[in-house]
Amino acid sequence: MARERYIKLLLMACASLSFLAILLIFIFILRESMPALTKVGFGNLFTSTDWNPDKGSFGILAFLNGTILTTLGGLIIGAPLGVGTAIFLDQVAPKKMATVIRRGIELLAGIPSVVIGWFGLIILVPFIARITNSSGYGIAAASVVLAVMVLPTITALSVETLRSLPIELKEASLAMGATRWQSIRTVLLPAAREGILVAVILGMGRAIGETMAVQMVIGNSRQFTLSLFKPTATLTSRLVTDMGEAPPGVFRSSLFAMALVLLIFAMLLIFSVRMITRKRKA
């Protein structure tokens, strides 16, 4: 019986350690970003588009804008693609074909982001440059790269949701004389709505946090832009660009403030997933 107790203690230690690590990271980031929040000022930090640490300007709005636009762009392309693929795999494709495609998509999830970013850099950016007569770097290129990266998450989770639907629902709608497409649109998709929403939100989390691939194709400029084809930056890409050179002080603290924003985004996403799944159970 003593052994039982040791194992229990050991497992408890593991759990406490993980929890403690997360808590400490949060406290650390919060503490480190305090100087920026107090000295630059909350308002200035989030409303200024001027990021010029040498001259004492620390506005991160341009990067916040970059993160939001690339994430939305990635989801606008990736979510319909992922949900469409999931519907195809679960409802349309013959079993063998579905298995092959599923394996392929799982593989896609395992490709390191730097490889996808590299593809973007040597194929996508020149392509966009040619058709838009711009440099090719920017939100459009980053959105496409992110779409590829969120695709496996959204597809896999959507397939899981569709699979978990009772077969009786599909039978009921088909037996009423619905075509396959009518059955998908009017019965299966509404029934899977929450699960698909969760899939998209988790994909969003992936898109917000993605650094490497985005940094390679977005152009890394500090300018604020709403144009899809002008170089700009995201919170993550700016962080990774500047973190090597930032001396302790307000500069480094502003980088931590960016990290804090990312952390809060992540927490909001997790929270919304919790809300959706709880509502489903009720």
Partner 1 sequence: MTQGNVKLERSPYPYTGQVVIERAATQPNVCDARVKIELRNLGLYYENFKALEDINLHIMCNSITAIIGPSGCGKSTALRSLNRMNELIEGARVEGKVIMDGENIYERDYRVVRLRKRVGMVFQRPNPFPKSIYDNIAFGPRLFGVRERNILDCIIEESLRRAALWDEVKDKLRDSALTLSGGQQQRLCIARVLSVQPEVILLDEPCAALDPIATQRIEDLLSELKNEYTIVTVTHNMQQAARISDFTAFFMIENQGEPGRIVEFGETSKIFTNPDDERTEEYITGRFG
The yes or no reply on residue 126 touching partner 1 (CB under 8 A) is: no
Q: CB neighbours (10 Å) of residue 150? A: 27
- Residue among 198 and 250 whose Cβ is closer to partner 1: 198
- Strand-pairing partners, residue 58, are 51
Binding span for partner 1 by CB under 8 A among 99-107, 184-192, 196-204, 239-247? 184-192
> Is residue 164 a contact residue for partner 1 (CB under 8 A)?
no
User: How many C-alpha atoms does 171 have within 13 Å on its Cβ side?
Assistant: 3
Distance of closest approach, residue 166 Cβ to partner 1, in angstroms: 7
Residue 176 lies near partner 1 (rule: CB under 8 A): yes
**Of 147, 38, 156, 44, residue with least CA distance to 107:** 156
- The secondary element (H helix, E strand) that includes residue 164 is helix 139-164
Binding residue (CB under 8 A) for partner 1 from 29, 129, 174, 276: 174
Q: How far apart are CA 43 and CA 47, in angstroms?
A: 6
- Residue number, 88 or 251, with CB nearest to partner 1: 88
Print burial letters for 151-182: b (CB count within 10 Å at least 16), e (below 16): bbbbbbbbbebbeebeeeebeebeeeebeeee
Q: How far is the CB of 82 from partner 1 (least distance, A)?
A: 23
Compose the 70-109 pattern: x for residues touching partner 1 by CB under 8 A, - for all others.
------------------------xx--------------
Question: From the list 140, 159, 187, 228, which residue makes contact with partner 1 (rule: CB under 8 A)?
Answer: 187
Structure token digits, residue 169: 């629902």
- Within its chain, how far is the Cα of 276 from the centroid? 18
Contacting residue, 56, 80, 84, 190, with partner 1 by CB under 8 A: 190
* Cα dist from 213 to 140, 150, 220, whole Å: 13, 12, 12
Q: Which is nearer to partner 1, 90 or 210 (CB)?
A: 90
Which tokens in the block code for residue 155?
């597809």
Piece of the chain touching partner 1 by CB under 8 A; list 78-86, 152-160, 165-173, 256-264: 165-173
Please pick, from the candidates 43, 110, 166, 248, the single residue that binds partner 1 as defined by CB under 8 A.
166
Number of residues this chain uses to bind partner 1 (CB under 8 A): 20
Residues contributing to the site for partner 1 (CB under 8 A): 94-95, 166, 168-179, 182, 186-187, 190-191
